[in-house]
Every structure is written in structure tokens, then in C-alpha cells.
Structure 1
């Protein structure tokens, strides 16, 4: 059960999560065969951090979700989600630590997408804000920007690799996530942040 799991990874305020990158551009991305080394995940951001895509821990955000495996290309910007359910985040079940469950998801898998618009794509350093229980893969305009394992007990921040930041563009953007769960409480919520100053906590 979630509350019985070993929590020692979180006592230092940092943890390591496996991050897998897509290779190539969004139009022709090939999945890597080997993951990158583990990367640090940061809890607190510097004061000059700028939110690009808000998470639902304070204000619920709209998502389109499905619990049935979608067709290939579900993460692409032009994929038709008219048949997906419109819900408010966070998405989950039970009471995982640090979560804000507003829409119920009780199956093993959930696929979720949301659109957002930007007037400028100029950023300093793109970070993913995420709370996941359990495994998650996150895409920006069809480009995989993160793949996490296990779970978190709070919202944390993961540095998006520099060669993935170009997926962000002026105008319409799509953030997509697939989360897989195997037992206990479950939860998923993601957003994006620009950090002019490198976080250290």
C-alpha cells in the first residue's frame, strides 16, 4: 500500500527519478533503447520561476482523459480527443500524500491531455512540475520530455533536457501524460515552469 512504502527517498528534499528521452524531432521521434542516468528532482523553485502551465494543486485545471488505451499518436497535437472525458485535475483515487484529487481514476492506466497557448516561446530553462503515483510518461507537442518511475509524495520539479525545450512553441501547445498504477492510492498532475535561476533544493 502507498502509505506503507519506504519514504527514505524523500527525506532529503530530493530524489532521483529515471528520465528517458525521445530521440529526434517531434515529427520523427524514435524511442531510445537505453535510459539516461538518473537525474535530480527538486521540490522548491527559485522566486523568479515563471509558471507556464498551472498544475491543479491550488486551482483545478481542465484535462481530457481516457482510461481505454488510445490509438497510436495519442500524444500528438492533432490527435482527436473529442470522445475523451472532460475533467478537472488532479486525477486519481484515494488520498495519496500531497495530492488534490478532484476527478476519479481507478483503473490501472489513464491517458490525459490539455491544451495551452503561449504568446512567446522564449524561455530560460524549462522544468516539468509533476506529482505522480505511479509510473508516468510526459509529452510536449508529441515529444517525450520525461519518463518517471514509482511515485512522489508531493509536487516536485524535473529539469527538461535542453534538446527537448524546442518542442515548446508560440500559440497552441499540447501537454500529454500517460500514468500507470499497480496498487494503493493513485494520482497524476503535471505542469510546466520556466526557471531563470537554477533551483538548488
Structure 2
């Protein structure tokens, strides 16, 4: 069959659209410490949480955690450690040897340790996946309980690229041998301030 006839057959046999269910989000409410739950879950997926009271010592803490990092991209004004400049016009292929990327995260999700990062905060979409180590800087007041709340918040944004990042990249083969950094960053540190 030709492509056109296949697509025509699919369109002719498409089921009726169903309305999304109404979900009572109050059933997911919990009276917990959001930062503590986020920390548990980010560590569970292989990441690390660094809590700071403000960002005055951010660069000092980053240098302490990553003393060997030489090629650093900082996409946030809170850190002055950047040694490699990037912009929306940067060719991602030129970033293949980045040691550390420091990126602003917009939202943290307590239930799963994920952080929402939009393209306006990372400049180059490949950056959080091509760097050796990744730091996401997120305000403490941007930690939400669950994904339902977060989807409500991000649904109001301009529809551009964004991604949830939870822990460093990892994979396991059929022998269940875990490999960290297989398809992206070897480590993830989330800084809450």
C-alpha cells in the first residue's frame, strides 16, 4: 500500500476522541516537608542535593564539589564560573568536551526528584545531556509536591522546548549492570537556595 492510502485508512478508522477524566487533585495532597521529600527522591535516582541559604557561596561550593572542572558553561547569572560562552547560535557539536554545566531549573518535583528546565534557561538544548557533570540551580520556593501541580504551572508557559531531568544519565543492560553517564551527565547536583 502507498503511504497516502495507509494514512487515509488510519484517518477513516480513527476512534472518537474521549474527554480527559476529571481528577480530584486533593487526594494527592500530603502534609510533608517538600524539600526533604525532594532530597530523598533525587538521591534515590542517583543525584545529590545541596541546600544553600542564598547564593553568596554558590561558586565556592561548586569548586569544592568539582575541583577538576576546567571547561564550564554557566547559563545562570548566579554563577561566575563559566569559562565557555554559549548562546542560542552555539553549535552543540562544539560542546562535546564540556566538564560542567550550571543551569537554572525552574521547578523541582518532590514526588520524583525531577527538575523542569526550559530552553530559555539552557540556551543550547543538548547542553544538559552533553556535559560530563550537571548542576541545576532551583529556588526552594519552586519545589512542588507532585507532577499534577507542575503540569498546571508549566501549561501556562509559552510552548517551547523544556525537559524534566531526574538524576544522572543511566542505563542497565540485560545482565543488569548499571552504567551511569551512559547517555548524558555522569553526575547531577541540584542546588536549592
TM-score range, shorter chain: under 0.3
Highest RCO, 1 vs 2 (Cα 8 Å, sep ≥ 6): 1
TM norm structure 2: 0.25
More helix by share: 2
TM norm structure 1: 0.24
Larger Cα-atom Rg:
2
